[in-house]
Amino acid sequence: MKAIYPGSFDPVTYGHLDVIGRITRMFGSLIVAVAQNDEKSPLFSLEERLEMIRQSVRGMKGVEILHFDTLLIDYCQKNKINVVIRGLRAISDFEYEFQMALMNKKLSEKIETIFMMPSESYSYLSSRMMKEIVAKGGNVSAFVPRHVERELRKKLLEPR
């Protein structure tokens, strides 16, 4: 079975990495798929987001990193991927994730969505919060790898 973990990863956090680690141990491998998502106006370019994940999973066996800009389900069908992984942090994630999983099921019956809860210590993390904290001068070293924090500071605090 091939599993895919799609998201914006703008930027990747320890919450994402917790999910990636757990699923990779369960499935033996995992495709992390970064959505281009220009309509969400991400802070980091696609290449920057990919590179931050590459550096974060260095040494982890079985993780493949790629990007997509089509409908996720089309991508899965073309590449014979049958499991979509999503993270569930809190009840507030539930409604959106539930709607998306049901819609994906309507688009393709063969693809299952599996929800993964992160360890409790990461369940309150979001990429958006990381950007807000760094922009206001806070420290996020407990929540993202060191190189990600460096990139956040560069992007948000250094004059261009």
Cβ closest to ligand ADP, residue 92 vs residue 139:
92
Q: Is 140 helix (H, G, I), strand (E, B) or coil?
A: coil
Binding mask 13-52 for ligand ADP (x = CB under 6 A): x-xx--x---------------------------------
Closest C-alpha among 116, 148, 147 to residue 11: 148
86 is an active site residue = no
The rounded distance, in Å, linking the Cα atoms of 63 and 4 is 10
Total residues interacting with ligand ADP, rule: CB under 6 A: 17
Q: Does 86 bind ligand ADP (CB under 6 A)?
A: yes
> What is the CA angle 71-16-79, rounded to 5?
35
Q: Which of 25, 29, 40, 150 is catalytic?
A: 40
> What is the CA angle 71-20-42, rounded to 5?
50
Residues that bind ligand ADP (CB under 6 A): 7-9, 13, 15-16, 19, 86-87, 89, 93, 118, 122-123, 125-127
